[in-house]
A and B are shown apart, each in its own frame.
Chain A
Amino acid sequence: MFSTRKRVIATGALIALVAGLTACSSVGDSDGTDLTGKDVGAMANFKAGDQFRATEALDFSILFSDHPNYPLQDDWLLWSELTERTNVTLAPTVVPMSDYEQKRSLLVGAGKAPMIIPKTYPGQEQAYVSSGAALPVSKYLDLMPNLSEKIDKWELEDSFDGLRQADGEFYLLPGLHEDVWQDYSVAFRTDIMDELGLEAPKDWNEFRDVLTAIKTVYPDSYPLSDRFKGDSLLNVVSMTYGSTAGWGWEAASWNPDDEKFEFTGATAEYREFVEYLHSLVEDGLVDPESFTQDDDSAIQKFVSGKSFAISSNAQTLVNDYRPAIIDTVPGATVAKLPLPAGPAGNVVAESTRLENGIMINADALESENFTAMMQFIDWLWYSDAGAEFVKWGVEGITFDRGEDGKRELLADIDYVGVHPGATTHLQKDFGFAGGVFAYGGATELLESTFSDEEIAFQDVMKKKDVLPLAPPFPLEEAEREQATLLETPLSDTAKQATLRFILGQRDLSEWDDYVTELEGKGMDTYLDLVNSAYERYAATK
């Protein structure tokens, strides 16, 4: 009997081992850019602006993030027209948007990932670099004329450098924005502001004045009660103080004077920003619950007239606030106000120009259709025609051009509420303007679906200066592990202390103690890692 048990265990162990090995075995290290024999179906002389069309019918597998608002349909015009134009059929592996990242890592880990893996945000590809699962796409940019042209024309070289790993290559084809696009700001009850004769604040001091004026009339209220756990507010305020926090938090920030990185949470700019927010909370202008309450509570306070300002983007404005407040507070009007300026000037940060993009399964390199696939991706995601196609659809079927060249959806098609009551929907019934293919791009295209109000907002935002990007510091794999181990507790400490300082639970006179705590958690070791990686990078430039 004992031997039976032993045998069972041994067999089990063997199965586990074999499975493990299969999972770990990665792609062969076919280095270099020798692509002979891999151009089946590719166009011989594919240039920027050309319509890509495979010379024979091709199939490419793609991971598809399924959005619950417009679930994938096999009969979408998107699919048939795509095949019609490019001779390529996409074979989607459908993954619910809710757990896209988990399935992606599972499929890549198991070696069963589709060739094209979109909806990968910059930074997420790092996990797949060392195992060799992601293709170093920077080696193949010559196959992608549209992308190369955009990088040149939109001056994205620096942004792309930020994607480079320690080996100097990058492994992600990001989505691009022509211009910096700052969507989030703070929305105000404009009817109250008009009533009190208040102007839109130009800087954060005026912002405080507006809140104070509201507070004097409504002394029992907190004029600003925020959502997003305060992350949006922290992000936009810190940005104009020349620092990062909230959604935009970066542990290391670049000091151009000393030409090295500092720990963000210990800089003078950061302290100034924290002091400002603390003063708002101290004066009762900002609800202390802003940093802990869930979104619904914050929205409820705003739409029931208990608070008068809340963080917002273009969509939350029209989806969350306006429809609800009409019923509860008659006569209320809400608008997103342009971002106030701060000590760093009238600025926005540039970190927003790279969007989620495409990671390519390294196995694709083995395919004889590799070149065709890269050309196809280049056309679909990076050419003007491709970008218009995935967003607006087909001229004459989904949209028409007005006399001024402005695109207009046909009358029976709805999208972002342009034709309420229409029987079909651009996303649901045609598959266009979906998150997998259409995002960012040229400003003209991006703004083509904006409301007039949002365009006016963006026009103000565009007049702002853009803060320069921090240089990259590509870490090697072992370094990255160490850096993460150091950075996580450091960031946690900084974020926790930030909130306590802002809320007044900790006195700002203890700032030096806080910096000492950071040092105790290895701040200097972390900065050494980052700075030496930067110097290594700078030396190769």
Chain B
Amino acid sequence: MVKVDHAPPVLKLRGPSPRPQRIRSSRGEGIFQVVNVVILLGVVAVTLYPFLNIIAQSFSGESFIRAGEVNLWPRGFNTTTYQLVLSDSMFWTNYKNTVVYTVVATAIAMVLTTCYAYVLSKKKVRGRNVLIGIAVFTMFFNGGLIPNYVLISSLGMTNSLWAIVLPNAISVFNLLVMKSFFENLPEELEEAAQIDGLSTFGILFRIVLPLSKAVMATMVLFYAVAFWNSWFQAFLYMDRADLFPVTVYLRNLIAGATTAASSGGGNDLAQVASNIQSVTMVLTVLPILCLYPFVQRHFVSGIMLGSVKG
């Protein structure tokens, strides 16, 4: 996924047209550039600051956080909270669950979405409109929370991986993006492959997919991030703490910090320190954060391809 691959041929036509460097940019353009940079730097600061602040908090002493003295740099530097959270076995159990759920769910979602999208992209397939209709229908209507719960539990999927992985296996949005990507692949390539004797699956695996790396990478990212961040499915269908993903763990931790202060129930003591929250947040975001820069290139070209030419 990290490997740089060639952008599909179509993209090349859309590159910036070569322009002689000699032409002086006008005064207006210069001002625009400056304003643009300033505004964008502002946006960067606004989006980056909370994150840096969380990182700084995660290394800071509790009393400095309480007194609001932590900004971009840790005060009262320590790593005891990291050691504390990292030594909590439930954190690791849940972290492992998140990884497993994300990997399995993304794999299943990719297989199903690719197959579905490929079929839908073939205009000659009979009943294609019905298949699209069924998918789009679910974008706007669903059974609702309780019927869904009854369904999943009647299927015996509660407290299992399948309750998280299967119900959301196909995101219709992703499906449509992929479908329009496939539709734009030159039909002649497939015809040529057919003449050379490839079966339908052969065409899919040996011709279409290798040409679709950009969109595949984008979809993997979409799905993986969505599954990594999701907590609601697990919250609904899991009845044991050792089955929760780390997002549920984190959510509960933060809720614990806020309610312990205001409940006044004499027993829910020992408020969770705010730097435990920040440590957990940092640890949870880290993997996705590391993944992003590598996939982002595909991400941009992939989504543009699907949407612009759809």
A76 to chain B, nearest CB (A): 13
Does B83 sit within 8 A of A, measured CB to CB?
no
A4 and B130 form a contact (CB under 8 A): yes
Does A228 sit within 8 A of B, measured CB to CB?
yes
Chain B residues within 8 Å of A5, by CB = 130, 133
A-contacting residues, B40-94, CB 8 Å: 61-64, 66-69, 90
Chain A residues within 8 Å of B150, by CB = 19, 22-23, 110-112
A-contacting residues, B101-155, CB 8 Å: 126-127, 130, 133-134, 143, 145-147, 149-151, 153
- Docked pose: A446 CA to B264 CA in angstroms: 13
A96 and B63 form a contact (CB under 8 A): no
Contact of B146 among A4, A98, A110, A450 (CB under 8 A): A110
Does B268 sit within 8 A of A, measured CB to CB?
yes
Does A69 sit within 8 A of B, measured CB to CB?
yes
B267 and A433 form a contact (CB under 8 A): yes
Does A93 sit within 8 A of B, measured CB to CB?
yes
B253-275: contact bitstring with A at CB < 8 Å (1 yes, 0 no)?
A: 11111011110111111111000
- Known A93-B239, A327-B67: A315·B130 in contact at CB below 8 Å: no
- Docked pose: A300 CA to B70 CA in angstroms: 11
A-contacting residues, B266-294, CB 8 Å: 266-272
Does A531 sit within 8 A of B, measured CB to CB?
no
Query: Main SS of chain B's interface residues?
Result: helix
Does B27 sit within 8 A of A, measured CB to CB?
no
A112 and B67 form a contact (CB under 8 A): no
Does A106 sit within 8 A of B, measured CB to CB?
yes
Contact of A112 among B149, B267, B270 (CB under 8 A): B149
- Docked pose: A5 CA to B146 CA in angstroms: 26
B261 and A69 form a contact (CB under 8 A): no
- Docked pose: A67 CA to B259 CA in angstroms: 10
Measured CB to CB, the nearest residue on chain B to A228 is B262
- Docked pose: A109 CA to B259 CA in angstroms: 26
B190 to chain A, nearest CB (A): 25
A23 and B63 form a contact (CB under 8 A): no
B251 and A96 form a contact (CB under 8 A): yes
Contact of B252 among A66, A109, A183 (CB under 8 A): A66
Chain A residues within 8 Å of B62, by CB = 323-324
Does A57 sit within 8 A of B, measured CB to CB?
no
Does B248 sit within 8 A of A, measured CB to CB?
yes
Measured CB to CB, the nearest residue on chain B to A114 is B239
B147 and A304 form a contact (CB under 8 A): no
A326 and B63 form a contact (CB under 8 A): yes
B260 and A8 form a contact (CB under 8 A): no
A1-27: contact bitstring with B at CB < 8 Å (1 yes, 0 no)?
A: 100110010000001100110110000
A439 and B68 form a contact (CB under 8 A): no
Does B236 sit within 8 A of A, measured CB to CB?
yes
B268 and A72 form a contact (CB under 8 A): no
B-contacting residues, A31-85, CB 8 Å: 66-69, 71-72
B271 and A324 form a contact (CB under 8 A): no
Contact of B259 among A97, A112, A300, A319 (CB under 8 A): A97
Chain A residues within 8 Å of B68, by CB = 296-297, 300, 304
Chain A residues within 8 Å of B151, by CB = 19
- Docked pose: A416 CA to B143 CA in angstroms: 47
A-contacting residues, B147-195, CB 8 Å: 147, 149-151, 153
Chain A residues within 8 Å of B3, by CB = none
Measured CB to CB, the nearest residue on chain B to A70 is B270
Measured CB to CB, the nearest residue on chain B to A321 is B66
- Docked pose: A110 CA to B268 CA in angstroms: 30
- Known A69-B256, A106-B236: A304·B67 in contact at CB below 8 Å: yes
A422-443: contact bitstring with B at CB < 8 Å (1 yes, 0 no)?
A: 0000010000011100111000
A103 and B235 form a contact (CB under 8 A): yes
Chain B residues within 8 Å of A228, by CB = 262
A-B contact count (CB 8 A): 158
A328 and B264 form a contact (CB under 8 A): no
Does A532 sit within 8 A of B, measured CB to CB?
no
- Known A19-B147, A98-B252, A315-B260: A323·B236 in contact at CB below 8 Å: no
Does A163 sit within 8 A of B, measured CB to CB?
no
- Docked pose: A314 CA to B61 CA in angstroms: 23
- Docked pose: A19 CA to B63 CA in angstroms: 53
Chain A residues within 8 Å of B228, by CB = none
Chain A residues within 8 Å of B272, by CB = 68-69
Does A313 sit within 8 A of B, measured CB to CB?
yes
Does B241 sit within 8 A of A, measured CB to CB?
yes
- Known A103-B235, A110-B153, A296-B68: A72·B241 in contact at CB below 8 Å: yes
Does A320 sit within 8 A of B, measured CB to CB?
yes
B259 and A327 form a contact (CB under 8 A): no
Does A184 sit within 8 A of B, measured CB to CB?
yes
A67 and B268 form a contact (CB under 8 A): yes
Does B244 sit within 8 A of A, measured CB to CB?
yes
Does B240 sit within 8 A of A, measured CB to CB?
yes
Does A519 sit within 8 A of B, measured CB to CB?
no
Chain B residues within 8 Å of A434, by CB = 267
Measured CB to CB, the nearest residue on chain B to A327 is B63
Chain A residues within 8 Å of B134, by CB = 8
A20 and B147 form a contact (CB under 8 A): yes
Contact of A328 among B63, B235, B249, B265 (CB under 8 A): B63
Measured CB to CB, the nearest residue on chain A to B252 is A96
B260 and A69 form a contact (CB under 8 A): yes
- Docked pose: A440 CA to B264 CA in angstroms: 11
Does A99 sit within 8 A of B, measured CB to CB?
yes
Does A449 sit within 8 A of B, measured CB to CB?
yes
- Docked pose: A440 CA to B253 CA in angstroms: 24
- Docked pose: A297 CA to B240 CA in angstroms: 36
A23 and B147 form a contact (CB under 8 A): yes
- Docked pose: A435 CA to B145 CA in angstroms: 28
Measured CB to CB, the nearest residue on chain A to B76 is A327
Interface centre among A107, A314, A435 (most CB of B within 10 A): A435
- Known A5-B133, A71-B241, A300-B66: A99·B235 in contact at CB below 8 Å: yes
A71 and B236 form a contact (CB under 8 A): no
Chain A residues within 8 Å of B244, by CB = 96
Chain B residues within 8 Å of A446, by CB = 266
B-contacting residues, A91-138, CB 8 Å: 93-99, 103, 106-107, 109-112
A438 and B267 form a contact (CB under 8 A): yes
- Docked pose: A78 CA to B130 CA in angstroms: 57
B251 and A94 form a contact (CB under 8 A): no
- Docked pose: A328 CA to B272 CA in angstroms: 21
- Docked pose: A118 CA to B50 CA in angstroms: 38
B236 and A315 form a contact (CB under 8 A): no
A530 to chain B, nearest CB (A): 28
Contact of B256 among A97, A300, A326, A416 (CB under 8 A): A97
B256 and A299 form a contact (CB under 8 A): no
Interface centre among B150, B239, B251, B267 (most CB of A within 10 A): B267
> Please, could you name 12 A-B residue pairs with CB atoms under 8 Å apart, sorted by A?
A5-B133, A68-B255, A69-B260, A72-B241, A109-B146, A315-B269, A315-B271, A319-B271, A327-B64, A435-B268, A439-B265, A446-B266
19 more A-B contacts (CB under 8 A) besides A97-B259, A303-B66, A323-B62?
Answer: A5-B133, A16-B147, A19-B151, A68-B255, A69-B268, A71-B241, A96-B249, A98-B252, A106-B145, A106-B146, A110-B146, A110-B153, A112-B149, A300-B67, A304-B67, A316-B261, A319-B261, A328-B67, A427-B269
8 tightest Cβ-Cβ pairs between the two chains A and B: A98-B255, A68-B256, A19-B147, A324-B66, A300-B68, A96-B252, A327-B63, A324-B63
